[in-house]
Amino acid sequence: MSDAEEEEGHSTAIKTPEQLITVLISAFAFPIAIILLLAKLATGDVPIDENNPAFSDKAIANRLKPEGTLVIASGSPQAEETVSDATGQAPGATPAPVAAAGGADAAKTIYAGSCAACHDSGAAGAPKLGDKAAWGERIKTGKDSLYNSALKGKNAMPPKGGNASLSDENVKQVVDYMVTQAQ
């Protein structure tokens, strides 16, 4: 094989500096053009038809409404409440008002408003109110341990049962109420 034949097999399509500059500019311009076209496609630069029924206030409110509601058992101070999180309260909702200090009735009211959602159903492993077996081991650890769990939260239960407006004394009253129901 001669040198001319060998050199011809290894030659490139770019033979002049003008061709090299054209290829370099194209190598940068082509991807940028593709990115810009994809961005335009993704953002959907389509004018919005204000008269389209999908953009009416009623249709938008219908799409944004909560999926379901939680109906509290009778005897509760709340008849119906929208639920969107683990604490049983809608985001941005004000926690249930704290009952005036006054013993068992206040504890029952607080329980119904802040604790019943989980402790009546056993949600997320919460011991059910009145379940002696579930509460027995917990009661053996002592009231201080129970108070600490209720005040600081435990497992899926948030601190103060998700009602930050409760005082420590209110939480302790509710714990005492729940313990007496399990004895």
Q: For 67-126, write each residue's pLDDT tens digit.
A: 777 777 665 454 444 444 444 444 444 444 444 445 667 888 888 888 888 888 888 888
Q: Please indicate, yes or no, if residue 70 is contained in any of the structural domains.
A: yes
Closest CA to 86 of 65, 58, 114: 114
The CATH number linked to 149 is 1.10.760.10
pTM, to two decimals: 0.45
Q: Please indicate, yes or no, if residue 153 is contained in any of the structural domains.
A: yes
Number of structural domains the chain divides into = 1
Q: Map residue 69 onto helix, strand or coil.
A: strand
As given in the structure block, the two tokens for residue 122 are 């056993």
Q: Please indicate, yes or no, if residue 17 is contained in any of the structural domains.
A: no
Q: Which domain holds residue 153?
A: 63-182
Instruction: Find out whether 121 and 128 touch, Cβ atoms under 8 Å.
Output: yes
